């Protein structure tokens, strides 16, 4: 009975510490490219409806939307309601064609329907699918498209090894951060003050693009905004036309079994990205993450074997990624590979 009282006391202390820490957290975020100050819509041109429909179909948009993409029918409805112009839709189609051609020439075609998704975060940031796609198809937007192309290509080339695919994205994120122009460097965002921190922030966005909410304040612990839509799992969903979770897209192949625990613990790539972001950029103590695992086991009756695997993953992030975060991303990826794939001593 005495050990149960001690365990409950420790759990209560963890809960109190976790609550205090969560209430005082600031939001991590990626600073996206600025939205244009004026709309692209030009209502002065009339074009045959059938030719617009065919043009949108020709560049690869779905007739009605396969997943959460708008679909050609939505664009035509907007045209008939004078919400967009024929010129806007033709420019949109041209931009999508440019993006497809650029990614194909780089070695891995991106799905046209990926661009045809109007998320609340996109609208809140002042963008539309028309303005964002046109911006990405410009010379300045090429660096972002190249990153997505290379990231999805790395995923495809490393399937089904989830660990190899995930780690292949880390150097890509590092190269992207270092190649950005000075006025758009991701590490200048308030929470990513170094190249290493910015690399981890971009890496997690590519891995899953997911975010987590503060259970105390119900505000996001971090947010990628509309950038989160352009993660590798989302690209794969639109490339295949199938709705899948990041866990289903990635799998757990390549991780040593001690970092997985049970067959039901299938989100280790997502967990790796989240733990790296929280510890490496958010400066979250590993003790806080351990407290979260304990809470999930105690309150939500989570599998303790899976919890132990998650804690082991967190420890690798703390002991390998955090101290070496400012090293060359290729070297960091190699160190993580050795840690996650190795058999226990």
Per-residue pLDDT of 293-319, as tens digits, reads 766 665 665 788 999 999 999 999 999
Strands 28-29 and 222-223: parallel
Lowest mean pLDDT among 83-97, 187-201, 268-282, 288-302: 288-302
d(CA 304, CA 313): 14
pLDDT tens figures, 193-247: 899 999 999 999 999 987 766 655 666 667 788 999 999 999 999 999 999 999 9
pLDDT exceeds 90 at position 173: yes
pLDDT exceeds 90 at position 101: yes
Q: Per-residue confidence at 188, pLDDT binned at 50, 70, 90?
A: low
Name the more confident of 153 and 192.
Answer: 153
Mean pLDDT of the chain: 85
- The per-residue pLDDT for 298 is 59
- The per-residue pLDDT for 40 is 46
Percent of the chain with pLDDT over 90: 68
3-state secondary structure of 159: coil
Closest by Cα among 86, 177, 70, 82 to 123: 70
d(CA 215, CA 205): 21
d(CA 80, CA 63): 16
d(CA 324, CA 280): 10
Lowest mean pLDDT among 17-21, 38-42, 82-86, 167-171: 17-21
Q: How big is the chain by its Cα radius of gyration, in Å?
A: 22
pLDDT, mean of residues 99-121: 97
pLDDT tens figures, 29-72: 555 556 665 444 454 455 689 999 999 999 999 999 999 999 99
pLDDT, mean of residues 86-110: 97
Lowest mean pLDDT among 35-49, 52-66, 147-161, 267-281: 35-49
pLDDT, mean of residues 2-15: 44
Q: Angle at the Cα of 164 (from 160 to 170), degrees rounded to 5?
A: 135
pLDDT exceeds 80 at position 261: yes
The whole-model pTM stands at 0.88
Q: Hey, which residues does 220 pair with through a beta bridge?
A: 213
User: Residues 6 or more apart from 299 whose CB is under 8 A from it?
Assistant: none
């Amino acid at each position: 009975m005495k050990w149960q009282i001690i365990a409950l006391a420790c759990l209560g202390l963890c809960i109190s510490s976790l609550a205090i820490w969560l209430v005082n957290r600031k939001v991590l975020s990626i600073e996206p490219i600025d939205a244009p100050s004026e709309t692209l819509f030009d209502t002065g041109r009339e074009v045959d409806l059938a030719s617009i429909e065919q043009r949108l179909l020709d560049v690869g948009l779905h007739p009605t939307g396969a997943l959460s993409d708008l679909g050609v029918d939505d664009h035509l409805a907007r045209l008939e309601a004078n919400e967009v112009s024929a010129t806007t839709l033709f420019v949109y189609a041209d931009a999508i064609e440019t993006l497809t051609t650029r990614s194909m020439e780089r070695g891995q075609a991106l799905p046209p329907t990926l661009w045809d998704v109007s998320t609340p975060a996109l609208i809140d940031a002042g963008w539309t699918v028309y303005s964002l796609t046109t911006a990405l198809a410009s010379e300045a937007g090429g660096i972002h498209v190249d990153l997505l192309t290379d990231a999805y290509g790395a995923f495809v080339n490393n399937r089904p090894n989830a660990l190899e695919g995930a780690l292949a994205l880390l150097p890509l994120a590092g190269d992207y951060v270092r190649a950005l122009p000075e006025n758009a460097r991701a590490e200048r965002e308030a929470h990513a003050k170094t190249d290493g921190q910015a690399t981890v922030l971009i890496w997690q966005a590519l891995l899953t693009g997911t975010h987590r909410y503060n259970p105390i304040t119900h505000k996001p612990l971090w947010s990628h905004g509309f950038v989160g839509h352009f993660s590798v799992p989302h690209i794969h969903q639109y490339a295949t036309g199938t709705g899948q979770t990041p866990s289903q897209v990635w799998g757990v192949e390549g991780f040593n079994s001690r970092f997985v625990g049970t067959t039901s613990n299938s989100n280790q790539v997502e967990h790796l990205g989240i733990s790296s972001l929280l510890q490496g950029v958010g400066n979250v103590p590993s003790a806080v993450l351990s407290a979260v695992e304990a809470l999930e086991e105690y309150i939500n009756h989570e599998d303790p074997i899976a919890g132990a695997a998650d804690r082991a993953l967190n420890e690798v992030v703390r002991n390998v990624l955090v101290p070496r975060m400012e090293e060359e991303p290729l070297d960091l990826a190699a160190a993580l590979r050795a840690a996650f794939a190795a058999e226990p001593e």
